[in-house]
Structure 1
Amino acid sequence: MNDALALVGRLLLAALLLAGTVQKLMSPEGAQALLALASLPAWLLWPSGLFTTFAGIGIALGVATRPLAILAAGYCILTSGFHILMDDPWQSTIAFKNWTIAGGFLMLAAHGPGRFALRP
């Protein structure tokens, strides 16, 4: 049962990363606006999209799971800073959600991908 739960958890975390990639590709304006608020260049959206793509695929497949999970946790913490907008409660909720997701990635890093992985 633990290995099946690890697989489902891995796939859900990976789905979130990959959905972020799709969102960046289909509608980059929102992420670019958040970057602009932080006085950062819009082109940073593309390395971010590459990271979420490769990390999402790697975590889904169970390849390099622990290092990717640690990097993904850091990514979630880092990007939460873009969402701490005190005049927008929804964005602040997204920041807290990112911290929670970082916790899930750290649990994945601590416990590994489980038996149902290409590299368990």
Structure 2
Amino acid sequence: MATLSITDRAPDATGFASFLGLLGRLLMAAIFLISGIGKVTAPAATMGYIASAGLPLPEIAFLIAILVEIVGGIALVIGYRTRFVAAVLGLFCLATAFTFHAQFSDQNQFIHFFKNVTMAGGFLQIVAFGAGRYSLDARRG
């Protein structure tokens, strides 16, 4: 029985399926790129929000968040080490869901919690099936 590893590639897909894979990566990356750039433009507000959640070392958490969101978003767009990046972004989604959005009595936080959980599910799909034909991963073989 064959096992799937994080470096396995999915079989070649049709042109339309490959386009959908690219579009899916672009849509998944958009929120991270926008959020990361927003953090860069408002560092004090972001670090204050991180501190208000009770996390230690908000400056380091701020830098980690920017690194994950911007570098991860770019890597996802271009399809570079996509399975690994998707795994990191999925874990980031779960961590932020439980850290910042677990106040279920607040409907807005409830929605954000499940948005993050849903995005983590989308990232699991990318981990499972890879970046597709239109990616640097496909060019690397």
* Superposition TM-score, scaled by structure 1 size: 0.90
Letter in 2 for 1:83: H
Letter in 1 for 2:83: R
In structure 1, list runs of 5 or more residues that go unmatched.
none
- Alignment of 1:97 onto 2:112: no
- Deviating above 6 A after TM superposition, structure 1's stretches of 4 or more consecutive aligned residues are none
1:12-31 aligned within 5 A: 12-28=27-43, 31=46
> Following TM superposition, by how much is the alpha carbon of 1:22 offset from its aligned partner in structure 2, in angstroms?
1.3
> Following TM superposition, by how much is the alpha carbon of 1:23 offset from its aligned partner in structure 2, in angstroms?
1.8
> Following TM superposition, by how much is the alpha carbon of 1:87 offset from its aligned partner in structure 2, in angstroms?
4.3
- CA spacing shift, 1:60–1:5, aligned 2, 3 Å: same
1:57 aligns to what? Answer: 74
1:60-99 aligned within 5 A: 60-81=77-98, 82-99=100-117
2 CA distance for matches of 1:19 and 1:113?
21
> Following TM superposition, by how much is the alpha carbon of 1:97 offset from its aligned partner in structure 2, in angstroms?
0.2
1 CA distance for matches of 2:40 and 2:105?
27
- Alignment of 1:46 onto 2:67: no
> Following TM superposition, by how much is the alpha carbon of 1:27 offset from its aligned partner in structure 2, in angstroms?
2.9
> Following TM superposition, by how much is the alpha carbon of 1:29 offset from its aligned partner in structure 2, in angstroms?
5.1
| Percent of paired sites with the same residue | 34
State the SS of the aligned residue for 2:136: coil
1:35 paired residue among 22, 47, 50: 50
* Superposition TM-score, scaled by structure 2 size: 0.78
In structure 2, list runs of 5 or more residues that go unmatched.
1-15
Letter in 2 for 1:26: T
Alignment: residue pair count:
120
Larger Rg: 2
1:117 aligns to what? Answer: 135
For the aligned residue pairs, the C-alpha RMSD in angstroms reads 1.6
